[in-house]
Structure 1
Amino acid sequence: MPRTPLPDDLPPAFPVALARSAGVGEGRLRGSDLRRPFHGVRSRAALDVEDGASAAELRRAQLIRSAQEYSQRMSPFEFFSHSTAAMIWDAALPLVDADLLHVSVLGPRRLPRARGVRGHQARPHLTRVVLHAETGLRLTSPATTWAALGAQLRHPYDLVAAGDSFVRVQRMPGPWHREMPPPLAHVRDLEAAIAAGRRVGARALREALPRVRLGAASRPESWTRLTLCDAGLPEPVLDHDVYDDDGRFIGCVDLAYPELKIAIEYEGDHHRTDPAAWNRDMEKHDALQAAGWRVIRVSRTVLFARPHELVERVREALRARG
């Protein structure tokens, strides 16, 4: 027997009370096609991901769907925060629990409580709440979100990487110019968030801020830079455009020592699973080598499990070319 269609004006996730007021019966609300993510909420929301989406993109889509479902029962005083807000902002993060929603409320109101939700009580002078344009969700601003991560991220490189992603200036590589969206935050915004008052993780934030840079496009790129710097090597340039001797654009490399023609490229999973990306990178690397560049390719295993190998390869290249 076919299911009774739900009213067209019901959103993908909706409060049970709203459905009842629209004439939806109890039996239909128990239908197997509806998710019951939270008490008093039903959802028919599908994941909004493109074919071939990465594992990280899938996890972010799952978290956003969960947040939109929970938003159907949020009070006007609640908002998403900590790593949940960071994932909605698409910040660079390590693997965090995407099944747990971090929800805050300004004190002295009571903490949010629900299965799969961790409640936080925020202080007004340390907190700025905004509306996320892409999802319509209430969450902490990029700078406030980064400041909250000081108490949540354990490795100092991850706090820097998150800061890198918030202040990153997007651009079109090469000689072409296209208007791009502004960065989510400026370094001065991160500074202001630290200066707003005492908070958990303040020392880690103060240590991370001077290491934040504008050009890192991913967490591994930030980790690569920091790994090399902490090994005593010169700080590489990020997001560097390379041209040949005739002025033709060859490509943009993740990190570089331009004067020595040394490029460092991180090979993420998409390089392995996307044939088009793999072919583009092969052509770029061939062109770089033809132009006299030395290309050092870095895998996830080397960067996170055997960083000394990365350091030695870069040190040897610097010594050979210096």
Structure 2
Amino acid sequence: MGVLDEPFVGSWALAAGALTRHQLRHDFERVVPDVYSRKGRPLDAIGRAKAAVHWTKGEGVLLGRSAAALLGSAFVDADQPVEIALPRHRRPAPGITVVQARIGRSDRCEVDGYPVTTPSRTAFDLACRLPRDRAVPALDALCRATGLDPSTALAFADVHQRVRGSARARAVLRLVDPGAESPPESLTRLLLIDHGLPAPTTQLVVRDTGGAFLARLDMGWERWRVAVEYDGAQHWTDSAQRTKDIDRHAILAEHGWSIVRVGADLLRNRPHIVIDRVVAALSARGAQLDDGSPGHHGTIARERKSLRA
């Protein structure tokens, strides 16, 4: 990739003789003041984060979602403002959120020469600032990309208990599972946990009696041979994938597995159906889901009713 194929400081490129003013105007477009990118190449979250660092002339340290993007997290929305810390006040450029803060050396690192907060600090910031149902998918992705153990992030939060939002951060970090491969998988797991079901094992490997690999499932309970699979759009629109799914689920059924399939509409608009189907599958396999108190219908029964309300 050429030097000018990524965002760059226009004044520096001109001073270095890397291009002429005519080339700058004709072949490139301004992203933020004095920062340019090649025309016809929309910037993703990583590109926009790099542009923000150039806007600060290297003084800024990327935070939150922007740091997560450079650290390798998937699913970071390019339309969200870039988050960057500066040691002094500066009026933000369009599309950039400036946090006035000094990031200590122990809390920062570099990715391809760009300063970002460390995975632990990034996880803590996300857990402090984002609503839970946005934070958990972002943290699942961050831990998966960086290899950060959620317990390490939780230990970081324990050390920073005086920081605003740290109590919420610790609660959120306890829900993180790097096994989730997409935000909908994270939200499906949260739905199950929120309604009293045992936390499922993610990326559950299924083998036959001889030890041969059969499948890897999004999440489930090996004890009861019940799994929950989130099917993205490709599972319904791609005929080859659809055929593969049919064969795969037939093989799993032959080996005693019950699969509850979840799609976008179910998760978003009819979550009670998901809970009903999972509870039915687990109960059929002997899972004891109610607490059995006299006159008590159980946590899950109450939650299912509230979902329908």
TM class by smaller structure: 0.7 to 0.9
> 2:99 maps to what in 1?
120
- In structure 1, what residue type is equivalent to 2:20? G
For residues 36 and 139 of structure 1, the distance between their equivalents in structure 2, rounded to whole angstroms, comes to: 23
Pairing 1:248-263 to 2, within 5 Å after superposition: 248-263=212-227
Q: Which moves more between the two structures, 258-267 or 210-219? A: 210-219
In structure 2, the partner of 1:69 is: 51
2:61–2:103 contact (8 Å) kept in structure 1? no
Give the aligned partner of residue 40 of structure 1.
34
Q: 2: distance between equivalents of 1:45 and 1:12?
A: 11
Asked if 1:160 corresponds to 2:142, the answer is no
Task: Report the residue type matching 2:59 in the other structure.
Answer: F
Q: What is the alpha-carbon distance in structure 2 between the residues aligned to residue 228 and residue 126 of structure 1? A: 40
Preserved contact between residue 99 and residue 116 of structure 1 (Cα < 8 Å):
yes
Normalising by structure 2, we get a TM-score of 0.80
| Structure 2: distance between partners of 1:129 and 1:112 | 23
CA distance in 2, matches of 1:278, 1:68: 39
What does residue 110 of structure 2 align with? 131
Alpha-carbon distance in structure 2 between the residues aligned to 1:167 and 1:195? 19
Report the CA distance between 1:119 and its aligned residue: 0.4
Taking the aligned partners of 2:105 and 2:164, their CA distance within structure 1 comes to 11
Structure 1: 5+ residue stretches without partners: 1-7, 48-57, 171-181
TM-score (normalizing by structure 1): 0.77
3-state SS of the aligned residue for 2:188? helix
**Matching residue of 1:177:** none
Give the match for residue 100 of structure 1. 81
Residues 211 and 13 (structure 1), Cα distance of their counterparts in 2 relative to 1, 3 Å cut: closer
User: Deviations 1:269-306 (Å, cap 9, x if unpaired)?
Assistant: 34345555444333321211121211111112211222
Residues 204 and 285 of structure 1, relative CA distance in 2, 3 Å threshold: same
Change (3 A) 1:141 1:286: same
Q: Determine if contact 1:254/1:264 at 8 Å carries over to the other structure.
A: yes
Q: Which moved more, 1:212-221 or 1:240-249?
A: 212-221
The AA in structure 2 aligned to 1:150 is A
Q: Distance in 1 between matches of 2:152 and 2:98?
A: 29
Q: Which amino acid aligns with 2:163?
A: R
Question: 2:118 matched to which residue of 1?
Answer: 141
Aligned residues: 284
Aligned-residue Cα RMSD (Å) equals 2.8
Which residue type is aligned with residue 17 of structure 1? S
Return the offset for 1:234.
2.0
Per-residue deviation, 1:205: 0.6
* Structure 1 ranges of 4+ moved more than 6 A: none
Q: Provide the residue aligned with 2:13 in structure 1.
A: 19
1:30 aligns with 2:6: no
Q: Partner amino acid for 1:266?
A: Y
